[in-house]
């Protein structure tokens, strides 16, 4: 459709006269105290792809809180750009309005945005606005909807034990949990914290065992220091990396031995190298096949 935001944006970038010399791509993801949501970042990616196809040289300004080593609005030189493009989110408030003052030398465009008040200086400061909604014109599809994306990463459930004081001086729960979360944070994956504890007065927890099994069955793998994290993940056919947080081994190691599950690591053998080995195995065909075999009893 010729009224899609990317198409209208391309027309705006090709007015009579010379094309943009260099463009600064901005959005709420650019503000120090703004938000870099998944939708905002995908909108940026889509706009950047459109600019690339049009041959428009451009940079993106990122919030220092999201990408501290990248170009920011604070470090960008307004004199280096002749065009500013703002994408996604509402055109509202002092942060957006301040762009017009700092980049007053630029032709300022906004695309894929919500217009709350057409008379807001945050809106009127732009030379052209291609709204997604908020005006009498029909709503347009958001830029994030068709943004280019890569392969989706795995979803890893993390089930940790924090108690078990009965093991006394053999407990290494805090150290093990710190190592596991630090290691997992560096993985390209979706990290989902889960709990085997059931409750009917807390919406964040499962209320029945069947709900918990439904959750685990939808994960690509589970990383756990809990015995039932191991047992119930295998019951659903989900591969598990089990870590025993008790020195010398306790119930997690014993259960892994009882069911013949190989991906178990002792507290005194925990390392990134060993975790990486079992991560690769769990996400491989071999890991999934082994877990499915266990799910059949």
pLDDT classification of 163: cutoffs 50, 70, 90: confident
CA atoms within 13 A on the CB side of 103: 33
Task: Give me the long-range contacts of 149-153 (CB less than 8 A, separation at least 24).
Answer: 149/42, 149/45, 153/188, 153/189, 153/190
Q: What is the C-alpha to C-alpha distance for residues 7 and 80, in angstroms, rounded to an integer?
A: 26
Q: Residue 114 pLDDT > 70, yes or no?
A: yes
3-state secondary structure 207-268: CCHHHHHHHHHCCCEEEECCHHHHHHHHHCCCCEEEEECECCCCHHHHHHHHHCCCCEEEHH
Q: Residue 100 pLDDT > 80, yes or no?
A: yes
Rounded to the nearest integer, the mean pLDDT of the chain is 93
Q: Residue 17 pLDDT > 80, yes or no?
A: no
* pLDDT digits 0-9 by tens, 30-89: 998 877 899 999 999 999 999 999 999 999 999 999 999 999 999 999 999 999 999 999
Give the per-residue pLDDT at 93: 93
Give the per-residue pLDDT at 140: 93
Nearest Cα residue to 49 out of 144, 148, 152 = 148
Give the per-residue pLDDT at 19: 81
Q: What is the C-alpha to C-alpha distance for residues 187 and 234, in angstroms, rounded to an integer?
A: 22
pLDDT classification of 12: cutoffs 50, 70, 90: confident
Give the per-residue pLDDT at 297: 65
Give the per-residue pLDDT at 3: 64
Give the per-residue pLDDT at 108: 96
Q: Residue 1 pLDDT > 90, yes or no?
A: no
pLDDT classification of 2: cutoffs 50, 70, 90: very low
Give the per-residue pLDDT at 18: 75
- Average pLDDT of the residues in 89-115: 96
Task: Give me the long-range contacts of 226-231 (CB less than 8 A, separation at least 24).
Answer: 226/159, 226/160, 226/161, 226/196, 226/252, 227/251, 227/252, 227/255, 228/196, 229/159, 229/196, 230/255, 230/256, 230/259, 230/261, 230/264, 231/255, 231/259
Residue tagged 């609005």 (tokens): 73
> Could you tell me what percent of the chain has a pLDDT over 90?
83
Give the per-residue pLDDT at 15: 67
* pLDDT digits 0-9 by tens, 170-229: 777 889 999 999 999 999 999 999 999 999 999 999 999 999 999 999 999 999 999 999
List, in order, residues 6 or more apart from 16 with CB less than 8 Å away.
none
- Average pLDDT of the residues in 152-165: 90
Q: What is the C-alpha to C-alpha distance for residues 76 and 251, in angstroms, rounded to an integer?
A: 56
Give the per-residue pLDDT at 4: 85
- Average pLDDT of the residues in 107-113: 95
Give the per-residue pLDDT at 34: 72
Q: What 3-state DSSP class applies to 58?
A: strand
List, in order, residues 6 or more apart from 49 with CB less than 8 Å away.
147, 148
């Amino acid at each position: 459709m010729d009224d899609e935001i990317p198409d209208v944006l391309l027309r705006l970038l090709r007015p009579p006269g010379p094309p943009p010399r260099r463009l600064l791509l901005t959005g709420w993801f650019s503000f120090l105290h703004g938000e870099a949501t998944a939708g905002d970042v995908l909108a940026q990616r889509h706009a950047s792809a459109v600019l690339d196809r049009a041959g428009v040289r451009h940079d993106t300004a990122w919030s220092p809180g999201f990408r501290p080593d990248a170009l920011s609005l604070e470090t960008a030189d307004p004199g280096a750009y002749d065009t500013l493009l703002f994408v996604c989110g509402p055109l509202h408030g002092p942060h957006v309005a301040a762009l017009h003052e700092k980049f007053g030398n630029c032709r300022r465009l906004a695309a894929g945005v919500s217009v709350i008040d057409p008379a807001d200086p945050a809106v009127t400061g732009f030379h052209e606005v291609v709204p997604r909604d908020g005006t009498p014109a029909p709503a347009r599809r958001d830029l994030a909807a068709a943004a280019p994306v890569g392969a989706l990463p795995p979803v890893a459930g993390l089930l940790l034990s924090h108690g078990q004081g009965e093991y006394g001086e053999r407990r290494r729960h805090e150290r093990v949990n710190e190592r596991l979360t630090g290691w997992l944070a560096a993985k390209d994956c979706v990290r989902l914290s889960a709990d085997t504890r059931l409750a009917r007065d807390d919406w964040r927890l499962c209320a029945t065992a069947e709900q918990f099994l439904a959750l685990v069955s939808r994960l690509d793998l589970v990383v756990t220091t809990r015995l039932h994290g191991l047992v119930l993940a295998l019951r659903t056919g989900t591969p598990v990396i089990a870590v025993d947080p008790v020195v010398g081994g306790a119930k997690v190691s014993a259960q892994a031995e009882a069911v013949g599950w190989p991906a178990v690591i002792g507290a005194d053998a925990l390392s990134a190298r060993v975790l990486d080995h079992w991560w690769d195995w769990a996400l491989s065909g071999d890991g999934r096949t082994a877990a499915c075999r266990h799910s059949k009893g």
